[in-house]
Structure 1
Amino acid sequence: MTTLFVNACMRGHDSRTLTLCREYLARKQDVVEVDLAALALKPFDADMVADRVEKQTAGAWDDPIFALSRQFAEAGDIVIGAPYWDLSFPASLKVYLEHVSVCDSTFHFTEDARCEGLCKAATLTYLTTSGGFVGDANFGYDYLCGIARMFGIPETRFVAAEGLDIVGIDVEDQMDKARAQMAKLG
């Protein structure tokens, strides 16, 4: 089973989120990484949407415009690593999800107009860190839960190391709490 790691850790090797992700993924076998900083995807504009719709209509599913969507739909497990930014996550992750959200690839509509997911993943695991304590305001995780439902991924899981930028806090203790949560995920 392929684990797709969506790396939205925009600070690269300095990212504490990426540190947690690497530790979590070390237990996995077949991991494929999508580094969003390296991809530098553009948000869809009118021309890009028209081009994608034209290729969808023609059934040109081998076109590179669908590569990320195909990869996401085929993965057996999804791990997303992203820091807590502006009540959610970096914009690059939203843009990536825009590229992945393709009708008849990651989801489709039934004859009675219900959205039905087409992804093979059994779980979507979201790993994050934050400078303060977020509490119930992690709207990024809420958004990913909605995307998982839309794509037919039955289980979402969440691990966060919080308070990492608070003066005087024991950062390693906070990271260890997240590590303990990750260990329970299996």
Structure 2
Amino acid sequence: MTTLFVNACMRGEDSRTLALCREYLQDKEEVVEVDLATLGLKPFDAQMVAYRTEKQKAKAWDDPIFDLSHQFAEADEVVIGAPYWDLSFPAALKVYMEHVSVCDIAFHYTEDARCEGICKADRLTYIASCGGFVEGANFGYEYFCGIAKMFGIPETRFVAAEGLDIVGIDVEAQMDKARAQIAALD
């Protein structure tokens, strides 16, 4: 069983989100990590869109432009590690999803024009840490709930350590709450 870990922890080893992710992943059999801080992906521009469209029309699915999409679609589980930034997540994660979201790899359209997901994963786990409290503005996780539905991933789960930058808060206690959430996941 392959777990794809999409690491959007832009602070590297100093990231509290990354620490939580490592705890979640420690007992997984096969983990493939995509480190967005080192990947250096560029947002799609007109030239890239034209190139990808040409390859899609030609059904040239072995072209490297589709590698990230194939990797995502073939994973048994997807873990997104992303700190809570500006009501969602780091921009590198959105750029990554532009590369992953490919019609006829991650999803397709049926003859009656319905979008149907074709990813293999049975769940997507979203792990975050937050300086404050999310309080109904969890737009990063909500985005991935939509992506999971679009890609045919039936279950999404959310774990977060919140309030970590609030003066006087017990940071370790907040991290322990998140660790307890992780321990409760099957």
3-state DSSP of counterpart to 1:79? strand
- Give the TM-score normalised by structure 1: 0.99
Q: Which residue of 2 aligns with 1:97?
A: 97
- TM-superposed CA distance for 1:27, in Å, is 1.4
The 2-side partners of 1:184 and 1:104 are apart by: 35
Identical-pair percentage: 79
Alignment gaps of 5+ in structure 1: none
1:10 aligned partner: 10
1:157 aligns with 2:157: yes
What SS does the aligned partner of 1:65 have?
Answer: helix
Structure 1 residue 137 corresponds to structure 2 residue 142: no
SS at match of 2:181: helix
Aligned residues: CA RMSD: 0.5
Task: Report the Cα offset of residue 135 of structure 1.
Answer: 1.3
Residue 40 of structure 1, CA deviation: 1.2
Residue by residue over 1:74-103, the C-alpha shift from the partner in whole angstroms, topping out at 9 and shown as x without a partner, is: 000000000000000000000000100000
Q: Which residue of structure 2 aligns with residue 170 of structure 1?
A: 170
Displacement of 1:138 in angstroms is: 0.8
Matches within 5 A, 1:97-136: 97-136=97-136
TM-score, normalised with respect to structure 2:
0.99
For residues 38-117 of structure 1, the aligned pairs below 5 Å read 38-117=38-117
Q: Which runs of 5+ in 2 are unaligned?
A: none
Q: Does 1:179 align with 2:179?
A: yes
Size of the aligned set, in residue pairs, is 186
Deviation at residue 120 of structure 1 after TM alignment: 0.3
- Structure 1 residue runs of 4+, over 3 Å off? none
Corresponding position of 1:23? 23
Q: CA-to-partner distance for each residue in 1:23-80, whole Å, 9 max, x for gaps?
A: 1100111000000011010000011000000001111111100000000000000000
State the shift of 1:153 in Å.
0.1
2-side partners of 1:133 and 1:82: how far apart?
Answer: 15
Q: How far 1:134 sits from its partner (Å)?
A: 1.2
Give the counterpart letter for 1:178 in structure 2: A
**Could you tell me how far 1:183 is from its partner in structure 2?**
0.8
